[in-house]
Amino acid sequence: METLTDVLLVTANVGSLFDNVGEIQNEWLQELYKTIHSYKPQFIALHFQEVGGKDYMANMGHAENFFWSIESSDEMKDFDRVCIYVDNQFQAEDSFTALGSMYFIHKALKNVYQYDFEAKDFKAVSGQTKYVGSLDGVTTVEKEKFPKNFWPDFKWSRKGFMRTRWIIHNQGLDLVNVHLFHDASNLIACNSSPSIYSANRKNALRYVINRISDSRYTPLPFFVFGDFNFRLDTLSLVQHLSTATDVQTVKKDSSNEVEKIICEEKDNDHKVLLQIEEKLFAYLHQAVFREDNGRALLKYDKEVAAFQDVIKEEDIKFPPSYPYSEEYAKPTQYMNTRCPAWCDRILMSHAAQDFIDRRDDGEKSVVYNTVGPNVCMGDHKPVFLSFSLKTNDH
């Protein structure tokens, strides 16, 4: 007999919650709980990146409190099994990823098992298990930081992935939390199409997919969700935005290095339409990133397409998830530090997509959207996927 299990997957880069401790956390959590309440899932997976924020040495202490406030909240009381994995061990530079994953199983959902990668066997999930630390020696999670030689020219930072493996009603699947490399400079991102950063992310994601599909364990359908840092193809987009403008390139005095790119309108008092610096991307008509959920820009979102042989994604019908203003009163405004982009995503293998139930009984059975679209959630809006998983009860 086929059973449907309602699942909610959420990815959230929570760096802002730690960089501005206490300021937005309450509203942020309320928006998360509202989403849970709307979709009433039986199985929830929350994947967090940048736990501890940029200044993690000073702020990692708040991580325990953040995770505790979720697991102990009234809203989660009907979930009687909880598994938590938090890599907060910043002292271990070679392995620190700042990833955190939380899994909640509703009391009405029976037959959930979790894989032990050492014993190579599934065990029934019971009670609450919480691992906070380096996660070395925790056998129900596989965690890896990307090898140093991945980015020979860049500062090595807390990027990597973390996988857990589950059986829900006889259906096995992998859930992978991932954080890929960001665009360090807007100017370098403009140099080529695809950018050097995009090429790095592509290598890193290939690496993740190869690791979770290799022969050490039987490959299973997978969902990989996190902050992929996917960006719009900056060079093509800038060429498009600056079509009818005069483009000036300002170089640093001493070197031949570009310091800024300025696009001015040909008439209209030469108004500056677009200005780009290493950490500035100021476009005069910011509304284009929001109207119709930024649909006109989706054609510049090309990084997933390189993986269509192995990866699927639901249609994006929400505006770019990053970089939102961290000002409380500007919840839908983008910061002009980066070109807005769909960084936060929920991707899946072809096999996993086949297990999503597509019944159409008036309600949308599959919802892919942001959490807290009209509330300040920090620089990243969390992204969720709500669906019913087709499982067999034998």
Q: Which CATH superfamily is domain 4-183+193-232+286-328+339-390 in?
A: Endonuclease/exonuclease/phosphatase (3.60.10.10)
Whether residue 284 contacts residue 272, with contact meaning beta carbons closer than 8 Å, is answered with yes
Q: Which residue has the tokens 């919802």?
A: 367
Predicted TM-score (pTM) of the model is 0.96
Domain ranges of the chain: 4-183+193-232+286-328+339-390
C-alpha to C-alpha distance for 380 and 376, rounded to whole angstroms: 9
Main-chain phi, psi angles of 338, to 5 degrees: -140, 155
What is the chain's pLDDT, residue by residue, as a tens digit (394 residues)? Answer: 788 999 999 999 999 999 887 779 999 999 999 999 999 999 999 999 999 999 999 999 999 899 999 999 999 999 999 999 999 999 988 899 999 999 999 999 999 999 999 999 999 999 999 999 999 999 999 999 998 777 666 666 789 999 999 999 899 999 999 999 999 999 999 999 999 999 999 999 999 999 999 999 999 999 999 999 999 999 999 999 988 889 999 998 878 888 999 999 988 788 999 999 999 999 999 999 999 999 999 999 999 999 999 999 999 999 999 999 999 899 999 999 999 999 999 999 999 999 999 887 656 789 999 999 999 999 999 999 999 999 876 5
Strand partners, 103: 45, 83
CA–CA separation, 17 and 160 (whole Å): 20
* DSSP 8-state symbol, 266: S
Q: How far apart are CA 357 and CA 4, in angstroms?
A: 8
Cα–Cα distance measured from residue 99 to residue 38, given in angstroms and rounded to the nearest whole number: 26
CA distances from 280 to 252, 276, 337 (A): 16, 5, 4
Do you know the residue count of the chain? Answer: 394
Q: For residue 256, what pLDDT is reported? A: 83
User: What pLDDT is recorded for position 270?
Assistant: 87
Alpha-carbon gap, residue 345 to 298, rounded angstroms: 14
> Measured between alpha carbons, how far is 185 from 183 in angstroms, rounded to an integer?
6
Q: What integer pLDDT is reported at residue 359 of this predicted model?
A: 80
Task: Compute how many other C-beta atoms are within 10 angstroms of the C-beta atom of residue 187.
Answer: 21
- Distance, in Å, from the CA atom of 106 to the CA atom of 49, rounded to the nearest integer, reads 24
Distance CA 284, CA 273 (A): 5
Asked if residue 3 lies in contact with residue 391, where contact means CB atoms within 8 angstroms, the answer is yes
End-to-end CA, the chain: 7
Quick one: which of 281, 377, 384 has its CA closest to 16? 377
